[in-house]
Amino acid sequence: MPSTQEQIKALRDAKVRETLGELAPIWLVYEEFRPREDAIIFNLVYNDPSYGWMNRRFKYDGFNDVLYHMGWRLLSEAEQLEIVEKEPYIDGEVALHVKNAPQYRTSSSAPVPR
């Protein structure tokens, strides 16, 4: 039984909050409903703790209630500034993101416990 666009969006929103909510604030920058597939293709922008500002593409399959990751790209500072001026899709406050990628760590090896 095909679902309506509003039903699929509500299911998608719940799945995104469950899986990516800790990365809030998140901006929805693109959305395309595919009625024959009961799916939505969409892009989210957020500040990833390891890589910085990312634009990630997802497909939400409403029939199977599955969120598929379909690629990503890093944003320039100009792109990021343009997006954060808009209202976020999922609101949240971030005081500070500490990047977790190895090049941002203070030392390359962990101290040995004694």
| Domain segments of the chain as ranges | 5-98
pLDDT of residue 56: 98
Contact 67, 60 (CB under 8 A): yes
The one-letter code for the residue type at 81 is L
pLDDT in tens, the chain (114 residues): 557 999 999 999 999 999 999 999 999 999 999 999 999 999 999 999 889 999 999 999 999 999 999 999 999 999 999 999 999 999 986 555 556 666 666 665 555 454
* Rounded Cα distance, 54 and 7, in Å: 27
pTM check: above 0.75:
yes
The one-letter code for the residue type at 55 is N
pLDDT of residue 80: 95
* Rounded Cα distance, 40 and 33, in Å: 4
